[in-house]
Chains A and B, each alone.
Chain A
């Protein structure tokens, strides 16, 4: 079976990725599954001296696609036809894994079953008789504890013995299944599985059915059988459930222990309205200290000044001089808007360290099982603005880099949620580069100014979010989320995730910085910037009451968020702005349209029309809000 594919399939949170990483070593490659945003990791496993291709599919509960993850896993199996499926299960939740097992069994691909989390199962007093299970299912069953490295070599040994289970549930709707299967048999692979999904009412599956058979099935089977998808689904679940009860009755032993478990205690405390909130605030504070102060401050300063300005930049300039580069090229690379001086410096000296810190923190939150608990704690706030707790991920990422956050909004399930998050990210969530400078600028004035700024942003998020939730069509998507056990994060897993995300940053985001800079260089050369400045200055000067010089910083803010903010910072330090003007500028620049890179990704993800509407609305809102603030600040002494 040289060059054949081994697919790892399993429920979410069963330790599948840890296991995969340990088996394939560090040489795994993460990529988007074609046409989707879902990550699929690929690598190789050595068995008896031969390399085998291996793929880690997204964790799923079922192969009936409701989310993109499930769609990818199923499509991958049907299209790439793995020669072995390794199903990874959580022993504690064997019932759920068996549901998936029966779905996989319909494909008749040789399988082995890995019962992972042996250590956790022992703790909770659950034992599975692996030998019994092997006898019933007739596929190799292996016990592992991936995080401890226990049982991994057994997987490698057993893969060649993978077997197709003869265990097939005789469905109470067998007649219907075989009626469709008769038509598809010998014409397409996996006909039985495809027949069942078709009867389940899965619309996507018909892509795998040849057109000439579709009508035939419709008239000859579906009309005659006369069973609706809902009841077929329920019956299927019942059939599988009964089979699972019989199996676990033979092979599962549960002894409940009432032992005090420290990690479980932490997990429950994190959900407690009082302790959980304190914990949440602590974690946010730690994140601010680590990402905002240490990475964005100390590390960025070091890389920007010591590495780039004092070391790399002179080298680059010297090289360009040495090879006698024409002036225009030199200007393009190292000038005021040069590719090296702006795009590369920005991408590697400023954003790279910040998001590395961010990814490390996020990896810890994800791997420890805390992130879903954070979603639960914040669900009520998010549901006020038409989102649910799951939106916490793009929101937190937005505080890091908005460009990244817009991309991560794909994890949200409905269009309505994605629209709301798009507007909020474009309007009011400041990215780390901007946030640092704005906070430094405001804290130099007074606490009161910082609080007023914060309130303005909060009011905008809640107010606009509520309006959008009301006006954008679509049902709210309620929270249904599994809470995995709290566990000690696996460093290997976190590092492979950081590596995967940084690769993604380099591939997806850095090119945008380059395009944005080239664009900037171009409009500077044709003096477009000054024309826009002239056009905008009446609004800035008369409506917002700001000095004319601030106009250029607003435009710079579009090109690079922190540039705009730092331009204002310099003006404030030189005493060119009154305190009130600093505050108004800080609010308007936060609300103002996002940076060019983020705008490009918005256009790419949502299309030009939606992007144009959002940007126009955001700009109008920022200006009107600034005007209102100017009026109100007449009565307040900051």
Chain B
């Protein structure tokens, strides 16, 4: 178990990292956010332990601080994805749970979750998920277990894993056409549109919709 102090450091670094990513580098502003969100005197500790540098009015992260901030943010957003997509938690509740879990997930576990979900690039709220080692491997053609239909090669038969969409209409339409999780589908072609076969039905969708349909081999 990590100490309270440890958790505070991780939490603040994650806050600072996301602020800097957004282009916010004003020291006083971020300091206020950290004071309010974590605790009063953590900033001094961060500077003393060499995670954070103060350069006039700008805040900077050292290499060590940067690594932790990025990693915690990654774990947080991946957890949110897992909760929302696979476990179907309500979107309003996931942030809080992810806040707890992010400190207790190892880098390896985060990579496994990331691979399982098909290396998602955005959290359910639309913020980018920093890539991990597993994602770079995936770019080197190691396929994850679950991946969007758009990455499948034509002619392959796969199982539908889940459909990620906030659009009620799309979901219902795809379900009614027989695209129900667990069903076997074959991708016929990818251009000019995606043509898939489910049972005896041929369905055409465009690339954006193909990106919402996650499948597994």
Contact = CB atoms under 8 A, between A and B. Distances in A.
Contact of B178 (A96, A475, A478): A96
B214 to A, nearest CB: 15
Residue among B90, B178, B199, B202 with the highest chain A CB neighbour number at 10 A:
B202
A241 B180 contact: yes
B139 to A, nearest CB: 26
A537 interface: no
Contacts of A380: 192-193, 206
A231 B209 contact: no
B3 interface: no
B22 interface: no
A237 B193 contact: no
A96 B201 contact: yes
A271 B212 CA distance: 22
Interface in B176-216: 176-178, 180, 188-189, 191-193, 195, 199-206, 208-209
Nearest to A272: B189
Given A92-B200, A126-B200, A271 B206 contact: no
B38 interface: no
B172 interface: yes
A90 to B, nearest CB: 8
Contacts, number: 97
Contact of A389 (B167, B193, B199): B193
B204 A95 contact: no
A93 interface: yes
B204 A479 contact: yes
A479 B200 contact: no
Contact of A478 (B172, B195, B201, B205): B205
Interface residues of B, number: 30
A64 B195 CA distance: 25
Interface string B108-137: 000000000000000000000000000000
A347 B10 CA distance: 77
A475 B192 CA distance: 21
Nearest to B169: A66
Contacts of A483: 195, 202-204
Nearest to B182: A241
Contacts of A389: 193, 204
A62 B176 contact: yes
B173 interface: yes
Nearest to A92: B200
Contacts of A376: 192-193, 195, 204
B105 interface: no
Contact of A62 (B172, B188, B202, B205): B172
Contacts of A234: 88
Contacts of A64: 172
Nearest to A13: B201
A95 B88 contact: no
Given A126-B200, A228-B90, A479-B193, A66 B173 contact: yes
Contacts of A476: 208
A481 B204 contact: yes
Nearest to B212: A478
A464 to B, nearest CB: 22
B200 A372 contact: no
A62 B180 CA distance: 14
Given A271-B189, A479-B206, A93 B201 contact: yes
A110 B195 CA distance: 38
Among A96, A272, A273, chain B packs the most CB atoms within 10 A around the CB of A96
A630 B208 CA distance: 42
Given A93-B178, A237-B180, A376-B193, A480 B202 contact: no
A267 B197 CA distance: 13
A479 B209 CA distance: 8
Interface in A444-483: 475-476, 478-483
B173 A480 contact: yes
Nearest to A240: B180
B209 A96 contact: no
B200 A93 contact: yes
5 contacts: A96-B199, A273-B192, A376-B192, A480-B173, A483-B195
Interface of A: 61-62, 64, 66, 90, 92-93, 95-96, 99, 124, 126, 201, 228, 230-231, 233-234, 237, 241, 267-268, 271-273, 276, 372, 375-377, 379-380, 383, 388-389, 475-476, 478-484
Which 4 residue pairs are nearest across A and B when measured between Cβ atoms? A61-B176, A92-B200, A483-B202, A479-B206
